[in-house]
Amino acid sequence: MTITSDPAGVPARPGFFDGLFARGSVAGGGAVADDTAWLRSMLAVEAGLARALERAGVAPAGAGAAVTGAARAGDFGPADLAELGRATVLTGNPVPGLARVLTRRVADPAARSAVHQGATSQDIMDTAAMLLARDALDAAVADLTAAAGAAARLADAHRGTLMIGRTLLQQAVPTTFGVVAAGWLAGLDSAVEGLAFVRDTRLAVQYGGAAGTLASLGGDGDRVKALLAQELGLADPPLPWHTERLRIIDVGAVSARACAALSKIARDVTLLAQTEVGEVAEGSGDGGGAAGAPRRGGSSAMPNKSNPVAAVAVLGCAKQAPGLLATLLASAEQEYQRAAGAWHAEWQPYSHLLQLTVSAAAWGRDLLANLNVDKGRMAANLAAAGGLPLAERVTALLRGSLGAPAAHDLVAVAAARSASSGVPFRDVLLATPEIEDKLAAAGITAAQVEQALDPSGYLGDSDAFITAALAAHRAG
């Protein structure tokens, strides 16, 4: 365990990548799931345990307050932290050293017996992991909820903002930016729902003692477990879950889901913000404006560049999530009553996944709150397609008169000629004699063709879908 902070719990120096991958912060301050947060959470568990033991009549009166008063992370000085680091190497986890230092710091000798009583190292580490998750999921939910609010505003404001839809990265049929933003909104709402469900139902205290029986507490173990859960505001599980790791996986899975929802949005933005597309652009956000200061989105080599930094940062966080979740899944196979290595393998990927999820959520909030939409560029790109995105609608117009195969073939010929010649699709349909003759024979007028080529009339249930997504968002 390496504590990279001063005794007050303030990082001694920011890391090069902290602004990108440790952007979010937990409620109440402090970094997410770093060494300082682990220390704070483990001490909170030890203090809660002492209070629970006192309430159960197992520890002497006043023990809870005495241990709680000594269990302040900010009071641990450099010598204490160095001792924890050395002890971690010797014992394979930081808890034995922590219990030793904490016991020494409790002023009342009678109260010292309440430190770590009945517990094993995994009890403290696993319960601390649940506290870390609660803080991280709270922070992620807050930022994702704000991001969803921004997506909802975009969806409503751009109900009628026409743009080209794209499938397999190729132009497809018209859509609206409102539908695109509504799709983002639905993903964010689902991510929030998943995070909140795990936060509210799956975070449970761990207290089982040496091998999950709490034998050292005689018949008081289950009662102390329940009181510890009350003290920490966590669920009281039916029994210890030392080698049943689905709670850890649940935290990881909903974190990865949130990263996936954000990643989809960020990838769309990077594509729509390409110079040749130019339909959206990131707002200035933070970081820029002062003379001589770095400009957000700037390049070290190309002064003209304005890179989509928030979207890129979301993707940088999110792309690490699948591998971290895979490690948690692989570590779930644990032997007997205590795993030899698999439990230890969880700590870093679990911490990193929480950090990255909170960071991605903070970046996603920034991205959507400051997104600029270029309606004119969207209209121009749609118009530049020369009507070809409406080929499906023209085919439907002709199908009743010509039959499906003939209608498809006729429109395919016209579309191919338009694409190869650069002549607008409308002109090919209405000015090519053999096609014109077939349209006339089918009773299709020029006015009907013109109407079929109007993208605003080929949006299906887009507006209804936006309304439904907004209603679901408000109901959530």
Q: How is the chain split into domains, by residue range?
A: 1-18+29-117, 131-207+239-384, 388-452
Q: Which of 214, 246, 238, 247 is nearest to 52 (CA)?
A: 214
Q: At which residue do the structure tokens 């109901």 appear?
A: 475
Q: Which fold has domain 131-207+239-384?
A: Fumarase C; Chain A, domain 2 (1.20.200)
* pLDDT-derived band at 296, boundaries 50, 70, 90: low
Do the two domains 1-18+29-117 and 131-207+239-384 of this chain adopt the same fold?
A: no
CA-CA-CA-CA torsion sign (364, 365, 370, 374): positive
- pLDDT tens string 389-407: 999 999 998 888 888 998 8
- Specify the pLDDT at position 476: 86
Question: Is 399 one of the catalytic residues?
Answer: no
- Specify the pLDDT at position 9: 40
Mean pLDDT of all residues in 126-147:
97
Task: Give dist(CA 292, CA 327) in Å, integer.
Answer: 44
Share of the chain above pLDDT 70, in %: 91
Tokens standing for 45? 């568990």
| Number of Cβ atoms within 10 Å of the Cβ of 198 | 21
Catalytic residue among 338, 377, 399, 417: 338
Question: Is 299 one of the catalytic residues?
Answer: yes
CATH code of the domain made up of 1-18+29-117 = 1.10.275.10
- pLDDT tens string 212-258: 999 999 999 999 999 999 999 999 999 999 999 999 999 999 999 99
Q: Which of 448, 411, 451 is nearest to 428 (CA)?
A: 411
- Specify the pLDDT at position 20: 76
Mean pLDDT of all residues in 268-286:
91
- Do residues 394 and 452 lie in contact, with contact meaning Cβ atoms separated by under 8 Å? yes
Task: Give dist(CA 196, CA 136) in Å, integer.
Answer: 11
Q: Which of 279, 267, 274, 355 is nearest to 311 (CA)?
A: 267
Tokens standing for 413? 């010929």
Whether the per-residue pLDDT at 6 is higher than 50: the answer is no
Give the CB-side neighbour count of residue 55, counting CA atoms within 13 A: 17
User: Assign residue 14 a region: left if phi > 0, alpha if psi is -120 to 50, beta otherwise?
Assistant: beta
- Do residues 77 and 101 lie in contact, with contact meaning Cβ atoms separated by under 8 Å? no
- pLDDT tens string 56-80: 999 999 999 999 999 999 998 888 8
